[in-house]
C-alpha cells in the first residue's frame, strides 16, 4: 500500500493495468518481481460496465460472456471462499465478483484469458482428484483444505496453483471492496457525502477523542 | 461541444479588435485574463482545447460501483504507466507496441480525466523519459489539480544566497507576498498559521483538520522537531464572493473536478468572471503554433493559430502577447517562433531558452499502520480537500553534509474508500475479512517532493523531425536527475522510515526509488528570469528581454522551484506581471 493524492486513484492498479496490455514479459522484467506478476488484468468497455451495472441491480442470473457455466461456478465458489458471507456482511457471491471477473475476461487478451482458464482447470483437477467432485460442490472443510494449500506461499507463490490463488484473490479483493456491499456493508465507509464541516480527531477541538483515545 | 463550435467559428481575425492576446486558459492564462479584462483591457484568450461544462463533466460523487470499470479505462484507451516512461523509446505515438490503442494517455489519464488529458499519439515527445501531463481543455490542468496551495518563501527566492548554488531570483519574497495575499483572498485558501519561514503563512480560511492517525503522527514527529500541519488547499472553505463558486462541503473527491467549484478551477474562478466584464473573448480549439514577429519594430505582431477542427490557419493580431500555455508549451511556442533576427526562437538571443528545466522529485514515500486505530470503529477520515503536510526540514539553518536544498512530505491516513491494505493481508475467509476491517482505520502513508536543482544542461529543444498532429515540431527532452537528487532520495527514504518508526507504525514499507522525471507535474523554468539578458530570457516582470511586448504568465520564468507545489506561485506571479503590464499600458509605453 502506497498512496498519496498525486498518484492517480491507485498507482498499483495502473501498473497492473499497463502490464496487461503491452509486451507483458518485457514489462514485468522492467517492473521487477513483486509488482503483481500474475495479476493479469484487462480493461472494460463502456458497454461491459453498463451490463454489469444492470446485473448488480437486478440480481438476475449471470449472462456469461467468457467463462463456461462450470468454470463460472467454480470461480464463484472460489471468490466466495476468499471473501465469504458471514455474520458481519454478505460476501463475494452477493457482490457478484465472479460476474465482474467474467466480464473483464471477455475483454482481455488471450494470454490473460489462458491464465484464468488454466488456473480454473487446475483447481478442478485437484478437486476431483482429492474429493471426486468439482470445486463448486465441495463442503466447507474440503474448500478450506484446498485453499489452505493454495495460499501457503502467498507472499512468494511457487506452483501454478499458488500463483492462481494470488491472481484470484487480487481480483476478488478489487471486485469486492469496490462493490456497494464491500464499501458500505462490510467496511462502513463514511465518506463521499456532503458535510458542513470535517470533524477529524476530537483532540483538535480540545476534547478527548472517543475514536482513538488520545487526549488533547 | 456546441458552445465550442459556436465560439470557434464566430471568432476569426477581423471579427474583433483586441489589445492583448493570451495563450492558454489554465492557472496562468485564467489569471492573466481576469486581471486584464476586469481592468477594461480588450482580451482575446486562445485555448487549444474545447470548452468544459463542469456540472456535467466533473463526476465528483460517483461511486466505483456505478460502473464495473472501477477506475479502468475502456477498451482501446490506456495511460502510459510508471515503467513505460523508462522502458519504451519515445515518441510513444509511433511505437508499434501502442498501435492497438485508439488513445494513449499520460499517467494522469483515469476514467475521470480521460477526456481532458491529451492523446500521446497526437502529442508525442522525444528524448529522455519525461512523464509530461497535459490537459487541453478550458482551464487546463486546474480542472483536476491536487489543490496543494503553498507559497515559495525567502528560501526559494534567495536560494543561491543561502547555499551558493546557481543564482537567486531577481526578485524577493517581499515583492511577491502582496500578490500571494491577494490570490488567497480572491480564490480562497484553507490552512493554519504556523509561522514557519520555509513555507510562509497566507490569509487562510478554515483548515482541513487532522484525523486520529494523523494527530498521533504529528505528536510523534514533534519529538524530532518536525512539523505535521493541515494541508494548505486552494479551496474555499468559508466561501468567496463569486456566483460561480460554493464553499467546500468536504466530499473529498476534488481530484475529479469539484462540481461545487469550491476547489479552484480556472474556468469558474477566473475565466467566467472575466468574461462577465464584457472585455474577454474566449476562442477554444485554437492551437497557437508561433508568435508572429515584426522585424521592423522588433515587436511581436500577434500569433498564428491552427483551428483544432477545421485546421484553418489564422493570424490574430494584438499589441501584446501573453503566453500561459504551461511552462513547457510556452517555451515550445517561443522555440518555434523563428525569424531572421531570432533564428533559434523568439527572445532566445541568450541561447538559454529551453534550459534550466526543473520540477520535483517524487516517488519516495512510506506507509504503515498506527496501532491505536487498529480494531476501532471506522470514522470519516477523508472528507476534506487535502491531506496534511510535513514542511521542509533540511538545510534551513543547518547544512546537510550530502546535499543542498530540501524536500517535504504530503500524505495522511485513516479510513479511505478503497482499503488498499487488503492486498497485503494474507489468508482468506472470515478471518481475512476481519483483519481487513481491523486495519482499515489505521493506515498512514506519505510521499515526498524534493527540489530538482536547476541545471543548464537539463533542457528541452525542438525535435528536428517529429511533429505533432498539427504539424508543430514536438519537444525533445534532455533531462536527468543528478547527484544532488540521488543523495536527497536516500535521505528522504531514511527520514520517512525514521518518522514512521518514531510514530510506532507497524508494517512499515518504504519506497526508495524515484518515479520517472516529470511525474510531479510541477514543471518550471525553460525561460528563466534574470537581470542579465545574456544569461536569462525574461526580465523580472516575466517580459522577454529581447521583445518588449511578449510576457510569460506561467512557470517558465521561474528560477528555482523549492519543494512547494507550483500553482499558487503561478497565480501570484501572474497577477504581479499583469499589474506591471497594466501600468505600462496606462503610461502608453505599449
Ligand atoms: C493530477 C494533478 C495534480 C496536481 N496537483 C497540484 C497541486 O496539488 N498543487 C499545485 O500547485 N499544482 C498541482 N498540479 C499542477 C497544476 O495543475 C499546474 O501547476 C497548473 O495547472 C499550471 O497552470 P498553467 O496555466 O501553467 O498550465 P495548464 O493548467 O496546463 O494550462 C495550460 C493551458 O494552455 C493550453 N495550451 C497549451 N498549448 C497551447 C497552444 N499551443 N495553443 C493554445 N493553448 C494551448 C492548454 O490547453 C491548457 O488549457 C497538479 C496537476 C495535476 C494534473
Ligand atoms: S472536498 Fe471540498 S473542494 Fe473537494 S470536492 Fe468536496 S466540496 Fe469540492
Name the residue at shortest CA distance from atom 3 of ligand 2: B263
Q: Give me the sign of the Cα torsion angle A42, A45, A51, A55.
A: positive
Predicted complex ipTM: 0.88
Name the residue at shortest CA distance from atom 50 of ligand 1: B145
Backbone region of residue B204 per phi and psi (left: phi > 0; alpha: psi in -120 to 50; beta: other values): beta
Residues 245-264, chain B, touching A (beta carbon < 8 A): 249-253, 255
DSSP-derived letter for residue B395 is S
DSSP, collapsed to helix, strand or coil, labels residue B305 as strand
Q: Within 13 Å, how many C-alpha atoms sit on residue B162's CB side? A: 22
Give contacts of A50 with chain B, Cβ < 8 Å: 67
| A94 has a pLDDT exceeding 90 | yes
Contact partners, residue B428, CB within 8 Å, separation at least 6: A81, A82, A83, A147, A151, A169
Judged by CB atoms closer than 8 Å, whether chains meet at A155 and B418 is answered as no
Pairing between β-strand B407-410 and β-strand B389-390 as defined by DSSP bridges: antiparallel
Contact partners, residue B373, CB within 8 Å, separation at least 6: A211, A212, B212, B213, B414, B441, B442
What per-residue confidence (pLDDT) applies to B412? 95
What per-residue confidence (pLDDT) applies to A56? 67
For B391-399, the CB contacts below 8 A with 24+ separation are B391/B194, B391/B196, B391/B198, B391/B199, B391/B227, B391/B229, B392/B155, B392/B198, B392/B199, B392/B562, B392/B563, B393/B198, B393/B225, B393/B226, B393/B227, B394/B491, B395/B162, B395/B163, B396/B155, B396/B197, B396/B198, B399/B163
Ligand 2 atom nearest to CA at B250: 1
- Nearest C-alpha neighbor of B289 from the set B319, B330, B318, B321: B330
The DSSP annotation for B253-273 comes to -GGG--TT--B--HIIIIIHH
A57: closest CA of chain B, how far (Å): 10
What per-residue confidence (pLDDT) applies to B78? 86
What per-residue confidence (pLDDT) applies to B70? 66
Ligand 2 pocket (Cβ < 6 Å) reads B 60, 235, 248-254, 258, 260, 262-263, 384-385
Closest B-chain CA to A200: B211
DSSP, collapsed to helix, strand or coil, labels residue B338 as coil
| A119 has a pLDDT exceeding 60 | yes
Which pLDDT band, with edges at 50, 70 and 90, does A53 fall under?
low
What per-residue confidence (pLDDT) applies to A40? 38
Judged by CB atoms closer than 8 Å, whether chains meet at A14 and B79 is answered as yes
Helix (H) or strand (E) holding B314: strand B313-317
Judged by CB atoms closer than 8 Å, whether chains meet at A18 and B80 is answered as yes
What per-residue confidence (pLDDT) applies to A11? 35
DSSP-derived letter for residue B415 is -
- The pair phi, psi for residue B60, each rounded to 5°, is -55, -45
Which pLDDT band, with edges at 50, 70 and 90, does A49 fall under?
low
What per-residue confidence (pLDDT) applies to B329? 98
Q: Which residue has the cell 478437486?
A: A127
What per-residue confidence (pLDDT) applies to B82? 84
- Whole-angstrom Cα distance, residue B472 to residue B476? 13
- Nearest C-alpha neighbor of B21 from the set B401, B413, B290, B265: B290
Tell me which residue in B72, B75, B252 faces A191 most closely, judged by beta carbons. B252
Name the residue at shortest CA distance from atom 4 of ligand 2: B254
The percentage of residues in chain B with a pLDDT greater than 90, rounded to a whole number, is 89
What per-residue confidence (pLDDT) applies to A15? 33
| A8 has a pLDDT exceeding 50 | no
Q: Looking at the CA of B468, which ligand is closest? A: 1
- Whole-angstrom Cα distance, residue B199 to residue B503? 24
What per-residue confidence (pLDDT) applies to A62? 77
- Ligand 1: centre distance to CA B555 (Å): 10
User: B288 pairs with which residues across the strands?
Assistant: B305
Judged by CB atoms closer than 8 Å, whether chains meet at A5 and B417 is answered as no
Judged by CB atoms closer than 8 Å, whether chains meet at A6 and B83 is answered as no
What per-residue confidence (pLDDT) applies to B125? 96
Closest B-chain CA to A12: B420
Our mutation pick for probing the ligand 2 site, out of B258, B383, B384, counting the most ligand atoms within 8 A of Cβ, is: B258
The DSSP annotation for B160-198 comes to HHHH-SS---SS-HHHHHHHHHHHHHHH--B------TT
The tens place of each residue's pLDDT in chain B, 590 residues long, gives 889 999 999 999 989 999 999 999 999 999 999 999 999 999 999 999 999 999 899 999 988 888 766 667 777 888 888 888 888 888 988 888 888 889 999 989 988 999 999 999 999 999 999 999 999 999 999 999 999 999 999 999 999 999 999 999 999 999 999 999 999 999 999 999 999 999 999 999 999 999 999 999 999 999 999 999 999 999 999 999 999 999 999 999 999 999 999 999 999 999 999 999 999 999 999 999 999 999 999 999 999 999 999 999 999 999 999 999 999 999 999 999 999 999 999 999 999 999 999 999 999 999 999 999 999 999 999 999 999 999 999 999 999 999 999 999 999 999 999 998 899 899 999 999 999 999 999 999 999 999 999 999 999 999 999 999 999 999 999 999 999 999 999 999 999 999 999 999 999 999 999 999 999 999 999 999 999 999 999 999 999 999 999 999 999 999 999 999 999 999 999 999 999 999 999 998 77
Give contacts of A15 with chain B, Cβ < 8 Å: 81-83
- Whole-angstrom Cα distance, residue B269 to residue B240? 10
What per-residue confidence (pLDDT) applies to B446? 96
- The pair phi, psi for residue B390, each rounded to 5°, is -105, 105
Question: Which triple of cell numbers denotes residue B517?
Answer: 522525471
B497: closest CA of chain A, how far (Å): 13
What per-residue confidence (pLDDT) applies to A212? 94
pTM for this structure?
0.93
Q: What value, to the nearest 5°, has the Cα angle with vertex A205 and ends A201 and A209? A: 40
- Whole-angstrom Cα distance, residue B365 to residue B489? 10
Q: Looking at the CA of B384, which ligand is closest? A: 2
DSSP, collapsed to helix, strand or coil, labels residue B302 as strand
What per-residue confidence (pLDDT) applies to A55? 67
- Ligand 2: centre distance to CA B542 (Å): 33
What per-residue confidence (pLDDT) applies to A47? 63
Q: Looking at the CA of B331, which ligand is closest? A: 1
For A185-190, the CB contacts below 8 A with 24+ separation are A185/A89, A185/A90, A186/A88, A186/A89, A186/A90, A186/B433, A186/B437, A187/B378, A187/B415, A187/B419, A187/B436, A187/B437, A187/B440, A188/B377, A188/B378, A189/B378, A189/B415, A189/B416, A189/B417, A190/B378, A190/B379, A190/B380, A190/B383, A190/B415
Give contacts of B250 with chain A, Cβ < 8 Å: 194-198
- Whole-angstrom Cα distance, residue B323 to residue B331? 9
Residues 87-106, chain B, touching A (beta carbon < 8 A): 87, 97-98, 100-101
DSSP-derived letter for residue B97 is G
- Greater model confidence, A199 or B291: B291
Amino acid at each position: 500500500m502506497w498512496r498519496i493524492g498525486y498518484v492517480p486513484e491507485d498507482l498499483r492498479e495502473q501498473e497492473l493495468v499497463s502490464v496487461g496490455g503491452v509486451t507483458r514479459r518485457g514489462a514485468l522484467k522492467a517492473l521487477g518481481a513483486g509488482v503483481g506478476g500474475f495479476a493479469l488484468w484487462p480493461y472494460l468497455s463502456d458497454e461491459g460496465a453498463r451490463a454489469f451495472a444492470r446485473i448488480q441491480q437486478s440480481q438476475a442470473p449471470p449472462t456469461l460472456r467468457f467463462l463456461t457455466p462450470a468454470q463460472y461456478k467454480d470461480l464463484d465458489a472460489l471468490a466466495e471462499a476468499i471473501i465469504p458471507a458471514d455474520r458481519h456482511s454478505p460476501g463475494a457471491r452477493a457482490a457478484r465478483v465472479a460476474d465482474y471477473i467474467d466480464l473483464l475476461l471477455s475483454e482481455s487478451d488471450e494470454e490473460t484469458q489462458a491464465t484464468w482458464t488454466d488456473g480454473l482447470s487446475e483447481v478442478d483437477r485437484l478437486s476431483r482428484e482429492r474429493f471426486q467432485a468439482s470445486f463448486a460442490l465441495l463442503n466447507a472443510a474440503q474448500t478450506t483444505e484446498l485453499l489452505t494449500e493454495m495460499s501457503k506461499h502467498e507472499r512468494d507463490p511457487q506452483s501454478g496453483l499458488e500463483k492462481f490463488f494470488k491472481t484470484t484473490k487480487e481480483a476478488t479483493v478489487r471486485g469486492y471492496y469496490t462493490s456497494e456491499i464491500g464499501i458500505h456493508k462490510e467496511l462502513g465507509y463514511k465518506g463521499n457525502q456532503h458535510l458542513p464541516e470535517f470533524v477529524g480527531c476530537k483532540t483538535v477541538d480540545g476534547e478527548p477523542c472517543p475514536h482513538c483515545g488520545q487526549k488533547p | 461541444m456546441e458552445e465550442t463550435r459556436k465560439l470557434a467559428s464566430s471568432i476569426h481575425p477581423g471579427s474583433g479588435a483586441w489589445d492583448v492576446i493570451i495563450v492558454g486558459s489554465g492557472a496562468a492564462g485564467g489569471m492573466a485574463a481576469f486581471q486584464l479584462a476586469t481592468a477594461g483591457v480588450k482580451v482575446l484568450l486562445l485555448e487549444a482545447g474545447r470548452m468544459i461544462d463542469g456540472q456535467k463533466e466533473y463526476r465528483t460523487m460517483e461511486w466505483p460501483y456505478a460502473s464495473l470499470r472501477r477506475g479502468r479505462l475502456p477498451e482501446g484507451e490506456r495511460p502510459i504507466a510508471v515503467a513505460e516512461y523508462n522502458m519504451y523509446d519515445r515518441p510513444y505515438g509511433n511505437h508499434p507496441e501502442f498501435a492497438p490503442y485508439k488513445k494513449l494517455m499520460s499517467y494522469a489519464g483515469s476514467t475521470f480525466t480521460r477526456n481532458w488529458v491529451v492523446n500521446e499519439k497526437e502529442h508525442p515527445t522525444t528524448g529522455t523519459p519525461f512523464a509530461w501531463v497535459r490537459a487541453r481543455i478550458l482551464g487546463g490542468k486546474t480542472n483536476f489539480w491536487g489543490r496543494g496551495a503553498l507559497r515559495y518563501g525567502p528560501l526559494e527566492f534567495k536560494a543561491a544566497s543561502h547555499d551558493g548554488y546557481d543564482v537567486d531570483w531577481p526578485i524577493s519574497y517581499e515583492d511577491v507576498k502582496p500578490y500571494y495575499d491577494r490570490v488567497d483572498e480572491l480564490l480562497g485558501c484553507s490552512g493554519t498559521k504556523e509561522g514557519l519561514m520555509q513555507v510562509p503563512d497566507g490569509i487562510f480560511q478554515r483548515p482541513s483538520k487532522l484525523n486520529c492517525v494523523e494527530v498521533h503522527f504529528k505528536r510523534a514527529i514533534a519529538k524530532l522537531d518536525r512539523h505535521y500541519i493541515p494541508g494548505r488547499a486552494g479551496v474555499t472553505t468559508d466561501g468567496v464572493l463569486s456566483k460561480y463558486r460554493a464553499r467546500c462541503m468536504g466530499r473529498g473527491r476534488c481530484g475529479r473536478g469539484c462540481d461545487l467549484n469550491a476547489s479552484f478551477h480556472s474556468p469558474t474562478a477566473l475565466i467566467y468572471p472575466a468574461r462577465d466584464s464584457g472585455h474577454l473573448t474566449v476562442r477554444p480549439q485554437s492551437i497557437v503554433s508561433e508568435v508572429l514577429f515584426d522585424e521592423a519594430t522588433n515587436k511581436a505582431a500577434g500569433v498564428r493559430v491552427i483551428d483544432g477542427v477545421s485546421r484553418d490557419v489564422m493570424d490574430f493580431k494584438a499589441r501584446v502577447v501573453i503566453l500561459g500555455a504551461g511552462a513547457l508549451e510556452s517555451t515550445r511556442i517561443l522555440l518555434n517562433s523563428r525569424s531572421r533576427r531570432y533564428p533559434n526562437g523568439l527572445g532566445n538571443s541568450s541561447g538559454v531558452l529551453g534550459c534550466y528545466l526543473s520540477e520535483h522529485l517524487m516517488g519516495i514515500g512510506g506507509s504503515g499502520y498506527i496501532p491505536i486505530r487498529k480494531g476501532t470503529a471506522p470514522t470519516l477520515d477523508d472528507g476534506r480537500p487535502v491531506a496534511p503536510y510535513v514542511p521542509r526540514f533540511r538545510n534551513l539553518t543547518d547544512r546537510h553534509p550530502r546535499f543542498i536544498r530540501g524536500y517535504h512530505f504530503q500524505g495522511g491516513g485513516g479510513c479511505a474508500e478503497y482499503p488498499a491494505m487488503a492486498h497485503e493481508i494474507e489468508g482468506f475467509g472470515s478471518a481475512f475479512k476481519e483483519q481487513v476491517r481491523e486495519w482499515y482505520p489505521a493506515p498512514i502513508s506519505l510521499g515526498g517532493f524534493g527540489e530538482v536543482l536547476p541545471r543548464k544542461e537539463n533542457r528541452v529543444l525542438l525535435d528536428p523531425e517529429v511533429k505533432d498532429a498539427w504539424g508543430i515540431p514536438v519537444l525533445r527532452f534532455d533531462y536527468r536527475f543528478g547527484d544532488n537528487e540521488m543523495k536527497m532520495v536516500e535521505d528522504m527514504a531514511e527520514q520517512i522510515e525514521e518518522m514512521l518508526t518514531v510514530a510506532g507504525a507497524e508494517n512499515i514499507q518504504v519506497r526508495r526509488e524515484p518515479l520517472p522525471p516529470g511525474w510531479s507535474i510541477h514543471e518550471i523554468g525553460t525561460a528563466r528570469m534574470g537581470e542579465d539578458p545574456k544569461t536569462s530570457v525574461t526580465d523580472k516582470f516575466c517580459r522577454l528581454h529581447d521583445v518588449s511586448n511578449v510576457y510569460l504568465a506561467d512557470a517558465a520564468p521561474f528560477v528555482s522551484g523549492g519543494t512547494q507545489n507550483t500553482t499558487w506561485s503561478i497565480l501570484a506571479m501572474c497577477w504581479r506581471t499583469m499589474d506591471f503590464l497594466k501600468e505600462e499600458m496606462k503610461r502608453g509605453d505599449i
